[in-house]
Structure 1
Amino acid sequence: MGTNNFHGNLPQEMTHLLRLKFLDLSFNNFGGEIPSWFGFLHRLQVLNIRNNSFTGSIPSSFSNISTLETLNLDFNSIEGQIPKVIGNLRVLKLRGNTLIGSIPLPLSNASRLETLHISYNSLQGNIPEGIGNLHNMKVLSIQDNQLTGSIPFKFFNISRIEVIAFSGNSLSGYLPYGLCNGLPTLEGLYLWKNKLCGYMPTSLSNCSQLQILALPDNEFGGPMHSEFGRLSNL
């Protein structure tokens, strides 16, 4: 039912669809608060309601759906904070809303999480160091928020990660000396428009799969090393 002209609130009669596993209502004009009765759809695996006009906060009832693997709420008008209980999600997308508060520490326990998109919100505070323990993570995007503090070095040891995107925040500190020693699959590193400083680590040349390196509008200094010429994918 995605990409249509549906509008109004979602009918509560949808709770009768107890065998439903995949629900795509994206790119419509649905509004109102996200129904808490989604929590009754205990077999749901994928819920995509991106690009609508949903308001209110993210219902805590999502944590009742133990089968839910993909939750996409991108580009709505959702407020409040990110729920502390994520469950068994592999993909969580909350881009382009008006979420506030900090990134919840329990997110570090979402061991199955592979994709986390929470860019274009109003999140504050530090990035929890424990997210660096999520070894299944492939895409980590927290761009254009109001985050401060340094980037935890643990993030640069997630061996499966392909995209790290922290642009458009107020992150400070420097990059680790062994930046790319533990990132064999990294394809995109987006760090522009922060307050990062120091030299470019020579280990950057070890990112053999790197295709996009975005570092402008920071406070980096020092010489550029000849080893960077080995980044043949850029």
Structure 2
Amino acid sequence: MPHSVCKSTLEVLDLSYNNFSGPITSCLLSMVGLRMLNLRENHFEGTLSSSITSECTFQTIDLHGNKIDGQLPRALSNCNKLVVLDIGNNLIVDAFPSWLGELSNLRVLILRSNQFYGSINDVDGNRQSREYFSSSQIVDLATNNFSGSLSSELFGRLKSMMAKFNSTGETLYPQNSSYYAEFYKGFIEMAYKGSFVTFERILTTLTSIDFSNNRLEGTIPESIGQLVSLHVLNLSHNAFTGKIPAQLGGMADLESLDLSCNKLSGKIPQEFADLTFLGTLNLSNNQLEGNIPQSRQFLTFENNSFEGNLGLCGPPLSKPCPISPAPPSVANVEKSSHVDVFLFLFVGLGFGIGFTAAILMRRGRINDWFVISSRAFQDLI
């Protein structure tokens, strides 16, 4: 790429799906006026320049599918208008860029298939009083080396996914760029309903969280249930333990849920039967047990949604659930209680008679006692 491109007054630079190679021209990321940079699926390599100034005008940066290495330049935090950042499928080695959470316009963050590591919580400190990924609608961190547990605060601050969206949706394109909406295509590749799908248009209603294929552990935070507008949730191929939060059953717009290949235990929450839009469910290869919820929606799922859980039973699995014994009837309970009372009285009476007889025998008065007792018993009859 020639350096002369930096002297232009371009607002959109799209060189995607070509055979460009070599380092990305350093001046490119410091161009003032450039809104959209799309270098997707080329052979660019090397590190990204940190010469991004406070005059940054980028709204879309798409570097997906190259050979970029090193760390993510912290100077990207100067791009306050950034809406889409896709650096997926590169060779970047870095900690989770929690500092990007301060970009209030950032809606799409794709870091998948790199070598990011460590915690994905707020590693830079407490940002309770500041914005933190508040506008995010697509967060894809799949296939990295992230580890540790997920804090409940992480999901409790994704405000955009807590709002109820209009079901029609609009095409997402950079802010104040309606002039480019006719030709701009924001290609996004993501796991969707069990398949890897390429979206040529990003709708404002498309919401997704994908943390799959990492080394995350601990329990799944109940706070995920607050994300009522979330459509896709993928936490598969990690090491999560504990029970599946029942709060996930309140995410009424959920279309795809994948919790497979973890160490989850306990029962499948009955609340999942209320997820009427759920088209794809994968709970396989965990340690779940008990009855599979029976509802019209669950009847659409096949065996592979539940296989690898030895304790699960009921349709669609061939393993039947054990029949619980019927509780005893009231009459049987009353009859049993009467028998117990009489048995107790007779045992007590026998013990008393035996004890008295032993004392009298020792004093040589056993014969007199038997005579008296026999007369008393006849009078009683």
**Residue 133 in 1 paired to residue 226 in 2?**
yes
SS in 2 for 1:127: coil
In 2, Cα distance between equivalents of 1:14 and 1:190: 42
In 1, Cα distance between equivalents of 2:43 and 2:94: 22
In 1, Cα distance between equivalents of 2:251 and 2:285: 23
- Kindly indicate whether the alpha-carbon contact (under 8 Å) linking 2:40 and 2:66 is maintained by their aligned counterparts in 1: yes
SS in 1 for 2:139: strand
In 2, Cα distance between equivalents of 1:44 and 1:55: 22
**Residue 158 in 1 paired to residue 251 in 2?**
yes
- Letter paired with 1:190: N
Q: Which 10-residue stretch deviates more, 208-217 or 105-114?
A: 208-217
TM normalised by structure 1 equals 0.89
Could you say if the C-alpha distance between residues 7 and 175 of structure 1 is closer, same or farther in structure 2, counting changes exceeding 3 Å? same
In 1, Cα distance between equivalents of 2:258 and 2:312: 21
1:175 Cα offset (Å): 1.1
In 1, Cα distance between equivalents of 2:275 and 2:79: 38
Per-residue CA shift, 1:57-104, capped at 9, x if unaligned? 022320221110000000000011113343321110000000011112
1:210 Cα offset (Å): 5.9
- Kindly indicate whether the alpha-carbon contact (under 8 Å) linking 2:113 and 2:143 is maintained by their aligned counterparts in 1: yes
**Residue of structure 1 in register with 2:279 after alignment:** 187
State the percentage of identical aligned residues.
29
In 2, Cα distance between equivalents of 1:136 and 1:223: 31
- Kindly indicate whether the alpha-carbon contact (under 8 Å) linking 1:198 and 1:219 is maintained by their aligned counterparts in 2: no
The number of residue pairs the alignment matches comes to 224
74, 83, 93: which one aligns with 1:36: 74
**Residue 111 in 1 paired to residue 202 in 2?**
no
**Residue of structure 1 in register with 2:236 after alignment:** 143
Gaps of 5+ in 1: 226-234
**Residue of structure 1 in register with 2:94 after alignment:** 56
- Letter paired with 1:194: N
SS in 2 for 1:148: strand
1:106 Cα offset (Å): 1.4
Could you say if the C-alpha distance between residues 211 and 16 of structure 1 is closer, same or farther in structure 2, counting changes exceeding 3 Å? farther
- Letter paired with 1:97: N
65, 82, 86: which one aligns with 2:133: 86
**Residue of structure 1 in register with 2:305 after alignment:** 214
In 2, Cα distance between equivalents of 1:129 and 1:140: 14
- Kindly indicate whether the alpha-carbon contact (under 8 Å) linking 1:46 and 1:69 is maintained by their aligned counterparts in 2: yes
Q: Which 10-residue stretch deviates more, 194-203 or 16-25?
A: 16-25
Could you say if the C-alpha distance between residues 36 and 25 of structure 1 is closer, same or farther in structure 2, counting changes exceeding 3 Å? same
Quick one: higher RCO (CA 8 Å, sep 6+), 1 or 2? 1
Q: CA RMSD in A?
A: 2.1
256, 261, 265: which one aligns with 1:172: 265
Gaps of 5+ in 2: 1-38, 123-131, 162-206, 317-381
1:15 Cα offset (Å): 3.9
TM normalised by structure 2 equals 0.56
1:202 Cα offset (Å): 1.2
- Letter paired with 1:89: S
Could you say if the C-alpha distance between residues 156 and 136 of structure 1 is closer, same or farther in structure 2, counting changes exceeding 3 Å? same
128, 143, 147: which one aligns with 1:96: 143
